[in-house]
A and B are shown apart, each in its own frame.
Chain A
Amino acid sequence: MPMFGLADVNSFYASCEALFRPDLRGKPVVVLSNNDGCVIARSAGAKKLGIKMGVPWFQIKSQQYSEKIYVFSSNYALYHSMSQRVMTALEEITPRVEQYSIDEMFLDLTGIDGCEAFEDFGRRLRSHVFNTTGLTVGVGMGPTKTLAKSAQWASKEYPQFKGVLALTVSNQKRTSTLLANQPVEEIWGVGRRIGKRLNLMGISTALQLANSNPKSMRDNFSVVLERTVRELNGESCIPLEELPPSKQQIVCSRSFGERITSKVAMQQALCMYATRAAEKLRGERQYCRHIGVFIRTSPHADNEVFYGNSAGEKLTVPTQDTRDIIEVAMRSLDRIWLEGKRYMKAGISLNDFTPNGVTQLSIFGEDKPRANSAQLMKVLDSINQSGLGNVWFAGQGVDTEWKMKRGMLSPAWTTCWKDIPVAHVK
């Protein structure tokens, strides 16, 4: 009988920020999305003040609150570092773990009840993660991933569970009660859009969805929803994935801090994205055979006609060389660049991967692989990863105003020597 767990860090980004700021214990802390756009994380204190998820920063800035709120830009270096630590802590006492997102991990707990009760294990896990990292996880457990997720939702929603809840096959009544109280859009894989359609069909709770006909769900929605129905009934359809599937596409794109109007600035931005995407490609040990570029203006701007376009090239010789990717990107940009537009976002996509660098060179191929390409890329990567310095292509520009706005970034407490926390010898 399989048993899954879902460990989810409470208010992950906000908690990471507060870890190294003892002066912020219990205070309202809020973290903003890329470009300091909107709220993507709130501490318990911020939730109490009524600050909602997704609310734009400019709205909060102007408002008065009964307490001072502490605002941070997203510090991905810090969050990634802490996420790795949580993973490691979980892996130390759990047989198999799958990282689902930066702050959620699925656990394979099959057979653990041979040694200890599931909820005892859950409490031990919570305690172990806290002692190791200082972060608190909620642990939901169930015979399927979907039920584990529902259990985790309930452990957060109802404080009497103290952050740990197990749904077992032997206690169906508890499962039914929980599902009767869970709104359908809170189920893993459902969401607001499908939730609204289900409401129109008279399905508003998880229990009602569980009692619906799986085949009719597949016909009206998708096979994904059918699987969800089966999972809610204890039939495991989604296994634990230990290794994420290898990528077949790498996209590197960003929205700009300030709109781009000059071609030179766009070329610089694309150079930077091309470089990053190529690094990731080499990290995957793959070569790509198709490179694409896309650019777009804002779809919401007043008095501006939206313009979005993309262009790309198929390569005769697969590459992972940054220079090739930049060259194709610049040529593709030439084909779609329109003057007089205010661009909001651009990106590079690398597609059609192959692990082999050398294919049959076609008789007509003008593209030859660059000499010493692999060696140069290896040196480039090792310099850039050593932390001692950075080598990049001159096309990227040095200091540019289109870079992502992150005005309230906290120090990289765990990943940069000059940023480590300070303790006073007293």
Chain B
Amino acid sequence: MKLHSYAQGLTQLWPPLFAPIVRVPLYADPCAAGFPSPAQDYVEKELDLNELCIRRRASTFFVRASGSSMEDLGLFDGDVMVVDRAEEANHGDIVIAEVGGEFTVKRLQLHPRLALLPMNPAYSTIYPEELQLLGVVTWFFNSTRARRR
């Protein structure tokens, strides 16, 4: 994740895992001087992570990831995934699919044929008759401090 600098060392940091709302003041334009001009409106609106990650509240659910076979994608055990039920699932999307009576995280393949690709080489590709999805994973979060790498 990049660090953005605005106005003399004010940096925007990505938030800790479990704070539902993050408020970071944003300067509308970088100030060359050491302080903002009082004549200008310098804070437009505080940033809210919900605006970034949640397209529609009514169809968004949070799901926790269990397992470590997607670590090279950045998804670690215990991470929170933002899942949108109403999103149309596209080829290549990471989805939450119901397989064998449990929720599983898979990659969706639509062509050449419908398949759920495993993340873990120990598991095989599934070719379901009918796709039962909880939704598409649109974002996931991990805490940098939860594990020292």
Contacts and interface: CB of A to CB of B under 8 A. Distances in A.
Interface of A: 22-23, 25, 84-85, 88-89, 92, 131-134, 413-414, 417, 420-426
A414 B61 CA distance: 7
Contacts of B18: 417
Interface string B47-69: 00000000011110111111111
Contacts of A417: 18, 62, 80
A133 B123 CA distance: 30
12 contacts: A22-B102, A88-B58, A132-B85, A132-B86, A413-B61, A421-B64, A422-B65, A425-B67, A425-B68, A425-B105, A426-B69, A426-B99
B64 A23 contact: no
Nearest to A128: B86
Contacts of A88: 57-58
B62 A420 contact: yes
Given A424-B103, A425-B75, A133 B67 contact: no
B102 A23 contact: yes
B15 interface: no
A426 B64 contact: no
B118 A422 contact: no
Given A422-B64, A425-B70, A22 B119 contact: no
Interface residues of B, number: 36
Nearest to B80: A420
A89 B58 contact: yes
Interface of B: 18, 56-59, 61-70, 75, 77, 80-81, 85-86, 96, 98-99, 101-106, 118-120, 123, 132, 134
Given A22-B102, A23-B102, A132-B85, A424 B67 contact: yes
Contact of A22 (B80, B101, B123): B101
Contact of A425 (B57, B69, B85, B86): B69
B63 A422 contact: yes
A420 B96 CA distance: 14
Contacts of A84: 58
A22 B86 contact: no
Interface centre among A131, A133, A134, A424 (most CB of B within 10 A): A424
Given A131-B85, A420-B80, A421-B61, A426 B67 contact: yes
Nearest to A90: B58
Contact of A420 (B64, B106, B118): B64
Contact of B65 (A23, A132, A425): A425
Interface centre among A84, A420, A422, A425 (most CB of B within 10 A): A425
Contacts of B81: 423
Contacts of A425: 65-70, 75, 77, 104-105, 119-120
A411 to B, nearest CB: 11
A97 to B, nearest CB: 13
A389 B123 CA distance: 42
B139 to A, nearest CB: 14
A426 B120 contact: yes
Contacts of B104: 423-426
A423 B103 contact: yes
Contacts of A420: 61-64, 80
Contacts of B66: 422-425
Contacts of A25: 98, 101
B67 A421 contact: no
Nearest to B120: A426
A84 B3 CA distance: 37
A424 B58 contact: no
A92 B63 CA distance: 25
Contacts of A413: 61
A425 B119 CA distance: 7
A422 B99 CA distance: 13
Contacts of B123: 426
A426 B98 CA distance: 12
A85 B59 contact: yes
A421 to B, nearest CB: 5
Given A22-B102, A89-B59, A425-B119, 6 more contacts: A22-B101, A23-B102, A131-B85, A132-B86, A425-B68, A426-B69
A423 B63 contact: yes
A22 B133 CA distance: 10
